Amino acid sequence: MAGIYIHIPFCKKKCSYCDFHFSTSLNNKDEMIYCLINEFELRKKYLTNDIINTIYFGGGTPSILSVSEINSIIKKIYNLFVIDPSVEITLEANPNDLTKQKINDLKKSAINRFSIGIQSFQNKDLKFMRRNHTANDAIKCIKDIQDAGWNNINIDLIYGTPYLTNKQWSENLKIAAEFNVPHISAYSLTVEKKTILYKMIQNKLCDPINDKKNKEQFMILMEILERNGYEHYEISNFSKDGKISVHNTNYWKNKKYLGIGPSAHSYNLKERQWNVSNNNIYINSILKNKIPCEVEKLNEKDKYNEYILTSLRTIWGVNSKFIKMTFSSFFYNFFKKNTQKWIKSGHILQKNEKITLSKKGKLFADKISSELFWTE
């Protein structure tokens, strides 16, 4: 099984924390869609003999596209690839793009999963993040989607913002749980260079990220969602009723994927490649039937580190037997040696060959992973 990701590089507004590639100008949207479809032709052999079990429209803001534009891209994919009958097709969306009419029109398309950028149910928080919707817009959007009969829904939430109290964060989670959405992705606010947030902190226009509060809110996140029947299957992801994200799980389980569009990444187990993060350069190259990308061939160290990074974050964990059978003995011995102190401290749980993070270990996931990476 393999996945396809389509990057839609347009947004109506720049959020304060976002460093993804996009443009707020829609002047070349028609050309972009033409080039996305044409890139599929150029890349149709990348996933030779693989069955596609997930298609993901990300961005940017894919919900900016009309239903007919989305359908034209999906039609091209079905024409070129072998698609699993139970394929997950996700559309990332902002609440204010999803009118009742558009929701109903999308119901007639092949889209079968929404990932909604709610981020918060607190208006002050939304204003700080420069989101284009209000708390009431968010609530109405979820209700409208559920009323239209959708049952495979993810909502994104962000914690650790300067003005979000622990009480407000608890309220956000309780509201989300009351909707009984089957999937919640919750991310700690991070500060990336070239973002509005970075400049605000540098100019002392807002408080810097508080690590102590982040950890407190992560603990609140785990406690409330697990109490409401959600399975914490990856550091930032919670599901119920078996509605895990097939697309993201493919990443974590080392499956191949094809990325289409400017800044999109692809992976075929042997190498990574990523498209240029510039709309005009991307369009001009595709119009000349050239793929504007860079390619990185992966060596054994890269593959080992990637396995640690993606696997340790999940409930499936790292399999030491797999490391022993797949990589040189050096990597296996290095892994066994460096996990011992974390096992003894209770941050890592070991059951036969399976290594997973304990609840307190999840607070130190990045640190533990970094100590298991081979960096020389």
Categorize the per-residue pLDDT at 311 as very low, low, confident or very high, splitting at 50, 70 and 90.
Answer: very high
% of the chain at pLDDT higher than 70: 100
* pLDDT computed for residue 376 by the predictor: 75
pLDDT tens readout for residues 219-278: 999 999 999 999 999 999 999 999 999 999 999 999 999 999 999 999 999 999 999 999
Residue 225 CA to residue 210 CA, distance in Å, equals: 22
Q: Which domains, ranges and CATH numbers included, belong to the chain?
A: 2-251 (3.80.30.20), 317-372 (no CATH)
**pLDDT at 8 exceeding the cut of 80:** yes
Confidence (pTM): 0.96
Is-cis flag, bond preceding 59, omega within 30? no
- For the chain, the first-to-last Cα distance in angstroms comes to 33
301 to each of 96, 160, 234, 321, how far by Cα in Å?
44, 33, 24, 17
* 3-state class percentages of the chain: helix first, strand second, coil last, to nearest 5: 45, 25, 35
pLDDT, tens digit, 9 for 90 and up, residues 183-227: 999 999 998 998 999 899 899 898 898 999 999 999 999 999 999
Q: Are strands 113-119 and 153-159 parallel, antiparallel or unpaired?
A: parallel
Q: How confident is the model at residue 101 (pLDDT cuts 50, 70, 90)?
A: very high
| Distance of alpha carbon 238 from alpha carbon 180, whole angstroms | 12
Per DSSP, the three-state class of 70 is helix
- pLDDT tens sequence across 53-64: 999 999 999 999
Q: Grade residue 375 by pLDDT with cuts at 50, 70 and 90.
A: confident
**pLDDT score, position 20:** 86
Q: Which whole number is the average pLDDT over 150-172?
A: 97
